[in-house]
Amino acid sequence: MKNQQEPVENTKDRILQKAEKLFSDNGFNGVSIRDITRAADCNVAAVNYHFGNKENLYFDVFRRSILPKMAANRSRIEAYLAQSQEISLETVIRALVTTLFTHNIMEKKDDTFNRLILSERQSPVGVKDIIINEALVPFFESLMDVFKPHFPKGMDESQIKLNLLGILAMTLYFAHSRLSVSRFVNREYDEAFIHQIIEHTVFFALNGLKQA
């Protein structure tokens, strides 16, 4: 066992790290508290102290992966806008499309997290509400704060949200469906094509909003 004087956060982080690997390999139901304590070299009391039970630990494993990703997305968009001389509807659309698309293209795939997501889809434990309420909704609301002042005057909030969701959906489709898109248009995702996709998405979004 680890020295009892070990910093509290080190123990908590180690439990989260080991639990993430175990849950991704075996699913929630395939992992016991004893499996986790053996892997993390701690006792059951440490798990209970930090998380209360296995379900709460499972939820915190997802929080540990998702919340920093959302915070990083917001920071990248804010940094892009901070460098812009003039903030307009085109600027905020370009900030969103450019930062999300290029980051998702360049981001190293997290196989452990992807397996966690797959396992949760196959045997849901209840993470969906955490992902939506604690990660996606706050991120979307932060985007609304940025976008809303630049949408056409008179557009109601529900329409603004639908338009913003449409821009997000288009951006993430091009980012996550590279194999299909490459085959459809017979192009590789090289620098020139990535630039073309970004310009196309911004153009498509702007012209769609002009018709709204």
pLDDT digits (tens, 9 = 90+) for 187-201: 999 999 999 999 999
Q: How many other C-beta atoms are found inside a 10 Å radius of the C-beta of residue 148?
A: 14
> Is 193 a member of any domain?
yes
Q: Do 40 and 77 fall into the same domain?
A: no
- Residue 7's pLDDT band (cuts 50, 70, 90): low
> What is the pLDDT averaged over residues 135-160?
94
Evaluate whether residue 59 is within a structural domain: no
Query: What does each C-alpha distance from 134 to 64, 70, 99, 128, 142 come to in angstroms?
Result: 12, 10, 21, 10, 13
**How many CA atoms does the CB half-sphere of 150 hold within 13 Å?**
17
Please state the rounded mean pLDDT for residues 10-30: 95
- Could you tell me if 105 and 196 lie in one domain? yes
Identity at 61, one-letter amino acid code: V
Q: Are 81 and 146 in contact (CB under 8 A)?
A: yes
pLDDT given for residue 133 in this prediction? 96
Helices 157-176 and 89-106, packing angle to 10 deg: 30
Does residue 118 share a domain with residue 30?
A: no
Judge if 42 and 114 occupy the same domain: no
Question: What does the pLDDT read at residue 9?
Answer: 67
Residues 134, 81 share a domain: yes
> 129 and 26: one domain?
no
What is d(CA 189, CA 197) in angstroms, rounded to the nearest whole number? 9
Q: Say how many CA atoms lie within 13 Å of 142 toward its Cβ.
A: 16
Whether the CB-CB separation of 212 and 163 falls below 8 Å is answered with yes
The per-residue pLDDT for range 98-131, each reduced to its tens digit, is 999 998 887 766 788 889 999 999 989 999 999 9
Q: Taking 60 as the threshold, does the pLDDT of residue 2 lie above it? A: no
Cβ-Cβ contacts under 8 Å for 65 (sequence gap 6 or more): 20, 110, 113, 116
Q: How confident is the model at residue 58 (pLDDT cuts 50, 70, 90)?
A: very high
- What's the average model confidence in pLDDT over 31-42? 97
Amino acid, single-letter form, for residue 94: R
Whether residue 118 is found in the same domain as residue 162: yes
Same domain membership, residue 23 and residue 77? no
Domain tally, the chain: 2
Residue 121: burial class (beta carbons within 10 Å; 0-12, 13-18, 19+): exposed
pLDDT the model gives residue 212: 65
What pTM was computed for the model? 0.84
Q: Give residue 3's pLDDT.
A: 45
Domain that includes residue 170, residue range? 65-210
The CATH number for 35's domain is 1.10.10.60
Q: Cβ(81)–Cβ(149) under 8 Å?
A: no
- Rounded to the nearest integer, the mean pLDDT of the chain is 91
Do residues 166 and 84 share a domain? yes
